[in-house]
Structure 1
């Protein structure tokens, strides 16, 4: 598979990574552990070298899962994890507060232990803490990089000015944020700062939490209590009906090119900048193979420009988060 590089440290990763959150729940009840370990190893065989997890995914379950699956190939893959909520892992449960700068090293040790590794390739601050200057986190993360415990650090859902301030303390390797055909706010300021400072950009939910894959329509029901989309305004029935125009656009483009809708959505992202590395998630081998097909899909600049222009004419109804979760971002 083609490779791309993230940040000034030149962190080389497959052009498409794998978001692992759903392997610990989020869209259904928690999938079978052995099946997910098999899927992760199949991803490696298919050329994926970039895997994204977080301490909060399954309260440590996801890190342990990813670590076990990738242990045989640890030196051949790039693993990213994240921290932000303080977790009592003995229960486990959230403590109701953010991780302080002086607790970051301890969080990292827990992550390394669950992953079964001596180092982490990329460590993100999962959400910016409005009560603590970003410079304090950047300083601690820079020290961890200097010590060799992490190769680089990143920020998730951070504003352009926050990124700039952190980078002034210690160079940022990557910024992660939602980015897709139906949520393009990073184009307003964040991508420009990343380009200026030489920072990689990692879009999560590049398929709109399934919306852009062609598998969601107005008759789709989401499992209450187990599927996060039940809390997202743009997936509410009235909003979903209005938003189907975007899914239909992607589907029509896909049909014209003999491709799957997911491949069109991912190829569009890959065309935006050469330092963008999307991390679509899945729990099914056939979807994994389908997504990875975007890496070799040949679309012209004219094709991409036409899709961009057409998508810009479609208004999107509803927010990407509920009010509480949107307030936790820095955007």
Structure 2
């Protein structure tokens, strides 16, 4: 018998969409059919499970900054960097391998003379330097294969690009250099939503290759501190003397207040799961509570005043061993 969509499922979709960006929900069309919604529900439950289990998060970062050195000279320097002056092979959009410094310089000259009007120096980015990274211990071949598939899907046949996989640092990572101007003249201009989509696509490509990977917004994970990875710092140090930066939450209460809207959504998700007739959903509700209590913003506030941001008394519905399917009142975990 085919699965039917319940009111609880509809609520889970409603609240889940507030926690996660695309592609957990449909982007191009509002598909409201039963099969489509069942697919969305399955994807959402998988996303929640990955998040509360704290599956490794992918990193996708544009490493060259707007307004800096971004002309042909900078492109040439970055190609030298990612190829380790010709010692590391580059692979282009057609699968061709470029090895040796003379071949790397020939590539740069070809890009310059391809009719795209790239000046030696420019204030706007004539190429985007994209780095894809995973934590130490991740299968390096899978990371490279996922990066190859990511670049093909995102940049396709209309843009020239090369990529290189580095294995000289603990974090498996791949550098991509993609020309800003496509063959039909359209310029690449990635925004915040595009970067999130890139993260999600890279994570999906990794999962397709058997690697656990997640791509959730920092706010969803309750992360209040952002710092550059060792890989990015090393790259900036080698290419130019650019000051690394760290963004810190100035006060745990400020961070917690900013996190409250997201916390309220997590509460609603836990409520729906806790009232479900499915044992797996009720178990997931407990995991959600534990996850929220362990978020960076929650532990920072707890440490500052020796208090628990999720009151133990408020967990009586969720943290008990079993929650009756016909439970009328949802547990209150939004303390």
TM band (smaller chain):
under 0.3
| TM, length-normalised to structure 1 | 0.26
> Counting strand residues as a fraction of each chain, which structure ranks higher?
1
| TM, length-normalised to structure 2 | 0.26
